Every structure is written in C-alpha cells, then in structure tokens.
Amino acid sequence: MIRVLIVDDDKLVRKGLISAMPWQQFEMEVVGEANNGENALKFMESNPVDLLMTDLSMPVMSGIELMRIVRERYRQVRIVVLTLHQDFEYIQEALRLGAIDYIAKIQLEKEQFEEVLGRVSRLMKQKESGSTRPDPDSGWEREGIAALQLCYTLNSSGDVAESGQVPPSAVEAEPGVWYWHDEKAGDTDADADAEYQPGPGVARVTLTGLEGLDRKTILQVIRSYKKHDLFYDYEPSSPVRYVDARELVNRDSAEQSPSMDSIRDRWSGTEWIYEDQLFYKLLLELKGMRLPSVRLIRIFISLSDEWNRLYRPTLEEPITMEDYYPSWYSFELWLAGARDQIRLAGAKQQISLEIRSSLDKAMNLARQNLSQSISTGEIAQLVNMSSSYFSQCFKQYTGQSFADYVRVTRMEQAKSLLRNTSRTIQWIAEQCGYNDEKYFSRLFREQVGLLPSEYRQQASSSGQ
C-alpha cells in the first residue's frame, strides 16, 4: 500500500482530496495531512511516507522549500505537485526538484480523479522499475539538439502515455503537453512518424530549427504553439505536423489583433449565407487572424444569438453552439452547419435564393434601425423590390407582415433593455422607435401582458 501525505494550507482542499479521491483503487492510503511544509516534515520524522502530494504556495514553508529538504532527507519519497500555478518556469523548478508529476487544481474534477491517480500510480511504478522520466535539462544543451517530438492532447480524456502514444522517456511539461528527444526525427518523415502514432484528439508535432536555442526559449516555443497555433493547425486527417521553431520565435508579437466589432460586422450581414465565394473568403480571413480560441468562441456565441433573433421567423430550431471546440476543424464544421440550417429553413418557403437574400437583408436592416422610423416602402426600395411584391414575399417567408415583424422585434429589444439596464422607460421607448412613452407602454402591455415597469420588476425579482 502506497502511504500518502497531503500538504496544503487550504483545509477544504485537503479534506476534499482525502474524501473524494479513489485511493484504495490504486493501492494508496492517506496516512496524514499538513497545512505547511514545517508540519509536513514533523509528520515525516515519525511516520513513513511513500508519496508526498504538496501545494507550492503555502505560509511558513513553501512547497518548493519542502521539496528541497525532502529530496535531501527522504530520497525514496516520490513527490507530486498540486498547485494553481501555470507558469512554465515554476513547473520546471518543481520537476528539477524531483516531482514525478504536476497536477493543476483545475484538473481535479470528479470525472478526472481516476485519471489523475492512475497516472501517478503508473509513474511511481516506472520509478521503481527503473523506467524513469528523464531530467528535462539532460542533453538539451550538451549537444545542441536540432528537433523535439511534441504531443498535444486537444481534450482531457484519455492518457496518451498509458495508451502508448508517447515513449517512456517523454516528459509531461504541463497537462496535455508532452515532449521528447527522438534522434531519428531529423532523418526522414517516415522514421519520425513510424512510432507513437497519435490517436483521436491527439496532435503530434516535430519541432525543428532548435539549433542555438536554450531550454527556456524552447519551452516558451512549446507553450506558444499550444496557445496560438495548435487550435488552427490540427486536422484529424493529418494529425502529424512539422513546425520550424524559428518562425515562432520571430513572429511579430506587435501585430495588432482585429477588434471584436470588426469581426461582428463581417458576420452580422446576410450575404455570406447565400454567396459561397464570400463565405469561404470570410472563413479564410477569420482563420488567418489566429484569434485565441476562447475569444473566437465568445464572439460567435454572441453572433449565433443574433442569427437566432434575425432568422427567428424561418428557423424551425434555434442555432445551438457549444462553449468549447478543440480545433478550428470542429469549429468550421459547426459554422458550416449553422449556415446550412439557415439556408434549408428558408428553402422550405419555395422562394428563390435571390429573393430570400433580399428578405434577410431587409430583416437585418430593420434590426439595425429599430430606433428610426421604418416603413415597408423604404425597406423595399433598399433591397431593390417593389413595395407590393416585397410585402407579399415577406409574409410568405416569415408568416407575418413586415410591420408586425418590426413591432415584435422592437418589443424584444425593449424587454432586453428593461432586463439589462436601469435606463428610464422614456429612453428605452426612444431606442425602440417610439417617442411617446405612453403609446410605447400601451403597445408593450398589449404584446407582453405587463407594463414596462411591471416587466422590469418581475424580471428583477426572478433574477433574469
């Protein structure tokens, strides 16, 4: 039985780990706990310990200092670092001091407990059998390596080491990022790809051009590739890539990132729905921006809400979007699917593609000008249709007249402003195209069943 000591200054973290982790499943037993490094050393003076699981940031004595002392006094004790720190240098310091693994606290969700302990158990067995993880510094600067093999996991499921997708010598630099030195990597593509083929959701990268780069710079390149490029480069059909580190090092960090508004403007229009050439042009442009994936998803969650409002009259089901996509490949599939959903919904109305495009443009113009006076004739002229034909097609396409569509859309806008702002009813009325507050309130009550003030109070009390 592996005897475990947990060291963390947060009592709730210690109790949570003790009660939630499946220790016995991996032949482990928690024999003690401590709230700082000093108390941990006192416990170890009189109690045998096989595995020390310690936080790094603690009062009295930090985890780093504790590791230094344990390495001198108890060389047989294995150490696992448990911390919130994400800095590469901090991680490498812990690894140099003998940690066999690094666990970010954000990993510790219930469904990952078995995966975490399973990895720790396997690494301890490797240590006992002599198949140990190498010192991350060894050999890097002694001979000046030219290439490294990298393995990135795009999600948290699975263990690439346990499934044989990385060699025993691989070092896990941070959760989901492995690297190792393969002397064959510089020979031929076939040699580099022959072993340790990546499985689903796993990317392999041969990082070349490392001559003259020190360890710190190489680790920064590994981290930079994951942060800026992996999302866009990964494709399931070709998960192995070759990347020149010099291109990443020399990348222009001063290049300005496009604004969120400029991206929204490109995708808020309706033309890309019907024009294939424009759609693919916008796709290439968007991919070339290399936005951080979190920012990209945030922008398009907002846009999908806007599309649902715009195409509400024709969509049978709302467009849905996940809050995470592991790669550009999966994101592009979703975006193409959302486009097809809008196109197919409109096609069922048996109206030509050209007319549907004009009607979508009319709805978009209406939404952009809700505070202005909007007449059917003016909008029809803007989309190059006669007023009578526009009214006929709009009713067929949406199931309501253009005037009704504008009124309903204005009421939706009013409800949103009432829920999310504290502005006066008069101001909200004007934003929705009504200069007379009493007239607006009467229309709102007819549409919603409550006066604006009553609706705001109800929304506030229900936490909407």
B/e letters for 343-358, b = 16+ CB within 10 Å, e = fewer, are eebbeebebeeebbbb
Report the percentage of the chain scoring pLDDT > 90.
24
- Name 51's bridge partners: 4, 78
Fold classified for 2-129: Rossmann fold (3.40.50)
pLDDT band at 111 (very low <50, low <70, confident <90, very high): very low
Same fold, 2-129 and 367-461: no
CA distance linking residue 460 with residue 89, whole number of Å = 47
pLDDT digits (tens, 9 = 90+) for 5-56: 999 988 888 888 888 888 888 889 999 999 999 999 999 988 889 999 988 8
At CA 232, angle to CA 101 and CA 182, rounded to 5?
45
Residue 305: closest CA among 324, 283, 321, 294: 321
- Give the range among 69-73, 248-252, 324-328, 375-379 with minimum mean pLDDT: 248-252
Asked whether residue 411 carries a pLDDT value surpassing 80, the answer given is yes
Asked whether residue 58 carries a pLDDT value surpassing 70, the answer given is yes
Asked whether residue 132 carries a pLDDT value surpassing 50, the answer given is no
Q: Report in angstroms the alpha-carbon separations of 291 from 124, 230, 241, 382.
A: 40, 12, 20, 35
Q: State the pLDDT at residue 199.
A: 72
Q: State the pLDDT at residue 379.
A: 92
Q: What is the DSSP letter of 398?
A: H
Question: 279: buried, middle or exposed (CB in 10 Å: 19+, 13-18, 0-12)?
Answer: middle
pLDDT band at 128 (very low <50, low <70, confident <90, very high): low
Contact predicate 68/88, CB 8 Å:
no
CA distance linking residue 142 with residue 170, whole number of Å = 18
Asked whether residue 402 carries a pLDDT value surpassing 50, the answer given is yes
Selected residue with higher pLDDT from 71 and 185:
71
H or E segment at 113?
helix 113-129
pLDDT digits (tens, 9 = 90+) for 87-100: 455 566 666 666 77
Q: Where are the domains of the chain?
A: 2-129, 148-249, 267-347, 367-461
pLDDT digits (tens, 9 = 90+) for 335-357: 999 999 988 887 777 788 888 88
Q: State the pLDDT at residue 134.
A: 46
First-to-last CA distance in the chain?
52
Residue 248: closest CA among 270, 278, 222, 273: 222
CA distance linking residue 249 with residue 252, whole number of Å = 9
Average pLDDT over residues 377-393: 91
Fold classified for 367-461: Arc Repressor Mutant, subunit A (1.10.10)
191's tokens: 């040699």
pTM of the complete model: 0.58
Phi-psi region of 433 (alpha: psi -120 to 50; beta: other; left: phi over 0): left
B/e letters for 120-150, b = 16+ CB within 10 Å, e = fewer, are bbbbbeeeeeeeebeebeeebeeeebbbbbb
